[in-house]
Structure 1
Amino acid sequence: MAALPYWRLSSFYLFYFALLGSTAPFLALYFDHLGFPSARIGELVAIPMLMRCVAPNLWGWLGDYTGRRLAIVRFGAVCTLACFSLILFDTSYAWLAMVMALHAFFWHAVLPQFEVITLAHLQAQTARYSQIRLWGSVGFILTVVGLGRLFEWFSLDAYPLALLLIMAGIVGSSWWVPNAQPPASGQRPAGEGFFKQLLSPGVLVFYISVALMQLSHGPYYTFLTLHLEHLGYSRGIIGMLWAVGVVAEVLMFMAMSRVLQRFSVRHVLITSFALASLRWLLLGNFADHLPVLIFAQLLHAATFGSYHAAAIHFLQRSFGPRQQGQGQALYAALSGTGGAMGALYSGYSWNALGAGWTFAIASLAAFIAAILAATCMKEERV
């Protein structure tokens, strides 16, 4: 067995999620800085998520058909950087919408294919996935804290340049990673098609729950920073609060191999969905109380950490080697569909209904996902 390229794989996750740490807390804040109302902000944030409905499936099919996943990752990283650089030329709504769509089409080509490459390198060591993925959380923390402080001192006009630097890091790290292919044999029969496996018991319910979970994150990723700023928190404190959640996520990733040895994937998912429902209620109604806010951010360990790790294990065990790319791509696509719907509804409801009701809708979506997982998914222990 070849030595695991731990640091090369980890460096890619670090830069990739550093970009997410730069966009999730601050993209809506930047659009607000440009003077857009909440409805337009929701639409602009939703566009990259909507691209996840199309792009991952196209690139996933191409990756499964050609087997050249690393080439797709590198091509997607370069095109992401090139397309996003167009933001330097104009800040009108139509131009920004185009930039959001173009760069996201290529950005969403990258992660699902890289997940397959990582699992191929891990081979029988899939429990170590969380140890590699946690470096993505480290990248998120570094940028969310660093940019939070930076934007207390400097104007948000510097925001696009910060994103371009991180995208350049994604390009560089993608060329450092060695290639790997999934093994020819797998748990599922090689002749079994993707759609046949998709119709296996519990798989469709899993994907519906994924969409609902990501829909519930819509207000969080779109308006949490603006919500906390309106409650009187400084940008530096807001950045640290985002980081608290990701620190909790890192700790959960470090513990996930032991958690999944004791509990089934189904139980982990149910718990994650239920805690997400609680978290959104707390953020919508009690975010002005700092201890409650910190507790709600600590719940990120469940609403992303345990949820995502369990989901990756579910996908890895539900699809054969030749369908891994499509399985990961559909996961990304439905995450994008749910996330886009969440961003859109929260953009329209934020001013009309307020933060409390907007987060209450998110809480309901996560609760429905918990019920579906509890009633329709089968037990499966890692």
Structure 2
Amino acid sequence: MAALPYWRLSGFYLFYFALLGATAPFLALYFHHLGFSSARIGELVAIPMLMRCVAPNLWGWLGDYTGQRLLIVRLGALCTLLSFALIFVSQSYAWLALVMALHAFFWHAVLPQFEVITFAHLREQPERYSQVRLWGSIGFILTVVILGRLFEWLSLDIYPVALIVVMAGIVLCSLWVPNAQPSSQGRKLLSGGFLEQLCSPGVLAFYGCVALMQMSHGPYYTFLTLHLENLGYSRGVIGLLWALGVVAEVLMFLAMRRILLKFSVRRVLMFSFMLAALRWLLLGSFAEHVGVLLLAQLLHAATFGSFHASAMAFVQRSFGPGQQGQGQALYATLAGIGGAAGALYAGYSWNTLGPTITFSMASVAALAAAVIIAARLQEDRPHT
């Protein structure tokens, strides 16, 4: 068996999620810097998430049909860079909406296909996924800390340039990654087509809960930075707080191999959803207290770390080798639908209902997902 190209895979994740670290905390702040209202900010942030509802399924089908997943990753990374560079042409609302839609169409082609390539390299060691994926979290941490300090020293006008640099890193890393194809050897071959596997017990319920989890993150990814600025925190401190959450995520990824060997995916998902419900209540009502804010950020270990790793394990075991691209794409699509809904409701409710109610709505969404998982997902045995 070929050796795992650990650093090549990890390097790609580092730059890919460095881009998320540049957008999640700072994109809304940049649009605010340009003078847009909270409603317009919510709409602009929602556009890439809406594209996530369309693009991954097209690219996922194409990847499964042609098998050219690495080519899709490389072209997607390059077109993301080229289309985002159009932001330098104009900064009107309509033009920014076009740039958000166009670059997201290609950006969301990349990760689902790369996840399939990663699991193909892992072969019979899928529990090692978190050890590779944690470098994405490290990339996120480095970006939020560096950019948080940079925006304290310099104007937010340099923000698009910072994103272009990170996107160039994604392109270069995609050229370094070796190809691999999913194999049916050494694992149970699932019979039936994609739709038949999708209708297996608990699978549709799982995907619905993916949407609810991402919807619950809407206020967090759209307005947390502005929320903390209004409470008196500096941009440098806010960058460190974002980084703290991802440090907790990295530690969780390091532990996930042992956790998934000991506990079922169903139990890990339920645990993640319940802690997400608690986290949003803390951020909405008690973020002015530093100790509570630190605890809330540490809970990112559950709301993203354990949730994402266990969700990837669920998708990987629920579909056959020829369906993995579509399974990953549907995960990205439902996450996009939920994320867009979260960004939109947060944008419209932030000024009218306030942060406390907005985050409370997020808490209800996460709690609903916990109930659905408890009721609909079958208890599975941990990996052995």
- What TM-score comes out, normalization by structure 1 length? 0.99
Equivalents in 2 of 1:156, 1:34: separation in Å?
A: 9
- 1:187, 1:289 → 2: CA distance? 49
Deviations along 1:271-314, one digit per CA (max 9) or x if unpaired, are 00000000000000000000000000000000000000000000
CA offset at residue 261 of structure 1?
1.1
Partner residue in 1 for 2:287: 287
* Structure 1 residues 129-173: Cα deviation after superposition (integer angstroms, max 9, x where no partner): 111000000000000000000000000000000000000000000
SS at match of 1:175: helix
Deviation at 1:363, TM superposition (A): 0.2
Aligned length: 382
* Matches of 1:103 and 1:159, distance apart in 2: 16
Cα pair 2:191 2:320 within 8 Å, conserved: no
Residues 124 and 186, structure 2, Cα contact 8 Å, conserved in 1: no
Alpha-carbon deviation of 1:185? 3.9
Q: Secondary structure at the match of 1:357?
A: helix
Q: Within the alignment, does 1:273 sit opposite 2:242 as a pair?
A: no
The within-5 A match list for 1:238-277 is 238-277=238-277
Structure 1 residue 262 displacement after superposition: 1.1
Residue 191 of structure 1 deviates from its aligned partner by 4.6
RMSD, matched Cα: 0.8
- Residues 186 and 321 of structure 1 are in contact (CA less than 8 Å); yes or no, is this contact kept in structure 2? no
Distance 1:372 1:79 in 2: 38
Which structure 2 residue ranges, 5 or more long, are not aligned? none
Which amino acid is the alignment partner of residue 324 of structure 1? Q
Counterpart code for 2:255: A
CA-CA distance at 1:125 after TM superposition:
1.3
1-side partners of 2:231 and 2:188: how far apart?
A: 52
Say if 2:265 and 2:314, in contact at 8 Å, map to a contact too: yes
Identity %: 74
SS in 1 for 2:349: helix
Q: Deviations over 1:246-271 (max 9, x none)?
A: 00000000000101111100000000
Question: Where do 5+ consecutive residues of structure 1 fail to align?
Answer: none
Bigger mean CA deviation after superposition, 135-144 or 121-130: 121-130
CA distance in structure 1 between the aligned counterparts of 2:80 and 2:74, rounded to whole angstroms:
10
Q: How far is 1:45 from its partner? A: 0.1
1:202 aligns to what?
202
Asked if the contact 2:119–2:182 (Cα under 8 Å) also holds between the matched residues in 1, the reply is yes
1:213-228 equivalent positions in 2, closer than 5 A: 213-228=213-228
| Deviation per residue, 1:175-198 (Å, 9 max, x gap) | 000000001447454651000000
The CA deviation at 1:89 is 1.0
After TM superposition, what 4+ stretches of structure 1 lie above 6 angstroms from structure 2? none
| Aligned 8 A contact 2:190 2:319 in 1 | no
Partner of 1:9: 9
TM-score (norm 2): 0.99
Task: Give the equivalent residue in structure 1 for 2:127.
Answer: 127
Contact 1:218–1:340 under 8 Å retained in 2: yes
